[in-house]
Amino acid sequence: MALTRAEQRRQTEDRILAAARRLFADNGYDRTTIRAVAAAAGADPGLVMRYFGSKDELFARVAEVPSDGPVSGSPEEVAELLLAALDGKLRGDLSGTLAMLRSMLTHPDAGQEMRAAISGQQRQVAAALPADDALLRAGLIGALTLGTIIGRDLLGLDGVRDADVADIVRVLRPAVHAIARPPG
Amino acid sequence: MALTRAEQRRQTEDRILAAARRLFADNGYDRTTIRAVAAAAGADPGLVMRYFGSKDELFARVAEVPSDGPVSGSPEEVAELLLAALDGKLRGDLSGTLAMLRSMLTHPDAGQEMRAAISGQQRQVAAALPADDALLRAGLIGALTLGTIIGRDLLGLDGVRDADVADIVRVLRPAVHAIARPPG
DNA sequence: CACATCGGTCAACGGCTGTAGACTGAACGG
DNA sequence: CCGTTCAGTCTACAGCCGTTGACCGATGTG
């Protein structure tokens, strides 16, 4: 079963991308080297450069910022939408997202991109909340989401790391509603 | 006003420590170089090594993990204690803590130390919560705290970065209570 | 079959890093 | 006043990094 050149190339690219995703997610941007990615993919460092241009471009290819759909409705509905989105994130394959999360505090571009992504979601949520501190409330829901994923997947907190996703969402539900619903 | 040798040395050490705190907090462990710390402190790189031994030891000297007092009481009381602790953290000088937070996702030792610190607090909180998922609940309160500080001080989220500490705590209060108080 | 293309390999570059050690000169203690 | 201590400086090493460009050999194409 001889491979065509195009097939061969795509296979190698995929191996490099998979290795990069895993290493960036495990070690962050700075501690991940082109040489290590190449070795993990069974390829040559020079090849990685030729295919992806630079370390930054490779990182941009695999570090995904989670983009949620639009949200609207009553505060209660918005809260449920956000909880459903969190549920999905906690269940899905996070390796691309973890690469971004792991690097966002030390790699300026990653931090900027993550900040922008949260801001987008935040503004939509704020628009649906009838409170004058709506932006603060939306931001704190984002912070709760962020902290939960970091605590579970990056720090591995006891009691969170091995918890069922359903349990996490169940415990968080009243909290998200409490932030979304202004007092009164 | 001639300085004694001891005074001179302590002044230089302090300048180095202050510069290291700021640079580690701003840029994280990997992107902070001994040379940059020395330059910011108006000192020589070799001197930094002589006084603090290694980059890791210097980091350990300035990267503080926030240690809260013991907590106990009813779930409501515990929630209030945690909110008061968060209030204090958000008001105080965080530069040492930010150095730790900024680096915890990419520097293994920092991550380990932060994880251990949260675990300690977490176990105390869990012991006070009458629920079989108490550890999960305690961990998620920790995640909320973590996310809030990261969102405000490290990512600078809109609506959170410039919010009054009192407002942040006010919005978070019902959420923390909701997680601490088991349903029923 | 001859030639161009392109996946893959290799060696090297310049730069930056943490760290070590020799050195200078002024503040100390006897 | 002499010898020691020690803050501070300078230079250098060894290693790792991202990136580059020359090279090889098999696959494509006319």
**What is the per-residue pLDDT across A121-171, written as a single tens digit (0 to 9) for each?**
999 999 999 999 999 999 999 999 999 999 999 999 999 999 999 999 999
Is residue B43 situated within a structural domain? Answer: yes
Of B31, B102, B148, the CB nearest to A30: B31
Show residues, CB within 7 A, near nucleic chain D: A 2, 4-5, 32-36, 45-46, 49, 54-56; B 5-6, 8-9, 11-12, 43-47, 50
Please report residues of A whose CB lies closer than 8 A to that of B142. Answer: 147, 151, 157
Question: A53: alpha, beta or left, given left = phi > 0 and alpha = psi -120 to 50?
Answer: left
**Domain count for chain B:** 2
Q: Is there contact between B158 and strand C, defined as CB under 7 Å from any strand atom?
A: no
Two tokens, residue A100:
């971004």
* CA–CA dist A133, B154 (Å, integer): 21
Please report residues of B whose CB lies closer than 8 A to that of A155. Answer: 104, 111, 114-115, 118
Residue B104 three-state SS? coil
Of A105, A119, A167, the CB nearest to B28: A105
Q: Is there contact between A70 and strand C, defined as CB under 7 Å from any strand atom?
A: no
Segment B149-159 shows an average pLDDT of 98
pLDDT higher than 70, residue B131 = yes
Judgement on whether residues B39 and B82 belong to the same structural domain of the protein: no
pLDDT of residue B68: 87
Q: Which of B62, B91, B108 is the last residue of a domain?
A: B62
Judgement on whether residues A135 and A168 belong to the same structural domain of the protein: yes
Please report residues of A whose CB lies closer than 8 A to that of B126. Answer: 159
- Exposure string of A141-164, with b = 16+ CB inside 10 Å and e = fewer, is bbbbbbbbbbbbbbbebbbbeebe
pLDDT of residue B106: 98
pLDDT of residue B184: 61
Q: Which of B62, B89, B108 is the last residue of a domain?
A: B62
Q: Which residue in B27, B140, B162, B172 has the most chain A C-beta atoms within 10 A of its own C-beta, making it the best mutation to test that interface?
A: B140
Judgement on whether residues A41 and A107 belong to the same structural domain of the protein: no
Judgement on whether residues A108 and A171 belong to the same structural domain of the protein: yes
Q: How far is the CA of B9 from the C1' of C27 (A)?
A: 12
Is residue B152 situated within a structural domain? Answer: yes
* 8 Å CB contact of B177 and A178: yes
CATH classification of the domain holding A9: 1.10.10.60
Is residue B175 situated within a structural domain? Answer: yes
Segment A26-33 shows an average pLDDT of 98
- B64-113 pLDDT tens trace: 998 889 999 999 999 999 999 999 999 999 999 999 999 999 999 999 99
Judgement on whether residues A96 and A145 belong to the same structural domain of the protein: yes
Is residue A69 situated within a structural domain? Answer: no
pLDDT of residue B6: 87
Is residue A98 situated within a structural domain? Answer: yes
Judgement on whether residues B55 and B85 belong to the same structural domain of the protein: no
pLDDT of residue A146: 98
Shortest distance, CA A6 to any CA of chain B (angstroms): 37
CA end-to-end span of chain B, whole Å? 70
Which residue did the predictor score with more confidence, B170 or B66? B170
Q: Is there contact between B11 and strand C, defined as CB under 7 Å from any strand atom?
A: no
Judgement on whether residues A160 and A84 belong to the same structural domain of the protein: yes
Judgement on whether residues A83 and A131 belong to the same structural domain of the protein: yes
- A3-17 pLDDT tens trace: 788 899 999 999 999
User: Which domain, by its residues, includes B83?
Assistant: 75-180
pLDDT higher than 70, residue B157 = yes
| Nearest-by-CA chain A residue for B165 | A136
Q: Which of B62, B91, B110 is the last residue of a domain?
A: B62
Segment A107-116 shows an average pLDDT of 98
Segment A91-105 shows an average pLDDT of 97
CA end-to-end span of chain A, whole Å? 70
**pLDDT over 90 percentage in chain B:** 93
Using 50, 70 and 90 to split pLDDT, how confident is the model at A184?
A: low
Judgement on whether residues B55 and B119 belong to the same structural domain of the protein: no
pLDDT higher than 90, residue B14 = yes
- B20-76 pLDDT tens trace: 999 999 999 999 999 999 999 999 999 999 999 999 999 999 999 988 899 999 999
pLDDT of residue A40: 98
Of A29, A136, A151, the CB nearest to B142: A151
Judgement on whether residues B23 and B52 belong to the same structural domain of the protein: yes
Residue nearest to nucleotide C8 (CA to C1'): A47
* CA–CA dist A120, B89 (Å, integer): 28
Q: How far is the CA of B7 from the C1' of D6 (A)?
A: 13
Is residue B69 situated within a structural domain? Answer: no
Residue nearest to nucleotide C5 (CA to C1'): A5
- A36-75 pLDDT tens trace: 999 999 999 999 999 999 999 999 999 999 888 999 999 9
Within 10 angstroms of residue A6's Cβ, the number of other Cβ atoms is 8
Q: Is there contact between A6 and strand C, defined as CB under 7 Å from any strand atom?
A: yes
Is residue B68 situated within a structural domain? Answer: no
Two tokens, residue B80:
């209030």
Judgement on whether residues B84 and B168 belong to the same structural domain of the protein: yes
Is residue B116 situated within a structural domain? Answer: yes
Distances, alpha carbon B60 to alpha carbons B17, B27, B56, B103, B107, in Å: 11, 16, 6, 11, 12
Please report residues of A whose CB lies closer than 8 A to that of B178. Answer: 174-175, 177-178
Judgement on whether residues B91 and B139 belong to the same structural domain of the protein: yes
Of B118, B142, B151, the CB nearest to A142: B151
Distances, alpha carbon B180 to alpha carbons A80, A162, B58, B89, B166, in Å: 20, 19, 38, 20, 20
